[in-house]
Amino acid sequence: MSRNAGFGGSLFLIAVGAVLAFGVSVEAEGFNLNTIGIILMVVGALGAILTLVSITATRKEQHTEYVKKDVDVDSRDHDAT
C-alpha cells in the first residue's frame, strides 16, 4: 500500500468520524454513534501522523557521493626521480 493511500485513508476516517460525531443524532441502545465517530477521528489522526512520519523518514536517507580524483602523471614521474 502506498503512503498516499495511507494518508487518504486517514483523511477518510477523520471525515466519517466527524460526520458521526457531530452530524448524526441517533439514539440507539447498546452503542453511541457519537463515540464511534470520535474513535474513528482519533484512529484517522494517528494514521495520518504515522504516514507523515514514514514519509519524512524515507526522505532523510543517506546518500554517498563518490568523487574520482584525477592523478597528475607528470608530478608522479618527478617524485620517483
Domain hosting 9: range is 3-59
Res 5: pLDDT = 79
Whether 78 is covered by a domain: the verdict is no
Whether 69 is covered by a domain: the verdict is no
Q: Residue 47's pLDDT band (boundaries 50, 70, 90)?
A: very high
Whether 80 is covered by a domain: the verdict is no
Whether 66 is covered by a domain: the verdict is no
Whether 81 is covered by a domain: the verdict is no
Q: What is the dihedral of CA 2, 4, 47, 62, to 10 degrees?
A: 70
Average pLDDT for 40-64? 84
- Count of domains for the chain: 1
- The residue with greater pLDDT, 46 or 4, is 46
CB atoms within 10 A of CB 37: 20
Whether 53 is covered by a domain: the verdict is yes
E-only strand ranges, the chain: none
Of these ranges, 6-15, 25-34, 60-69, the one predicted with the greatest mean pLDDT is 6-15
Whether 42 is covered by a domain: the verdict is yes
Q: Is this prediction's pTM over 0.75? A: no
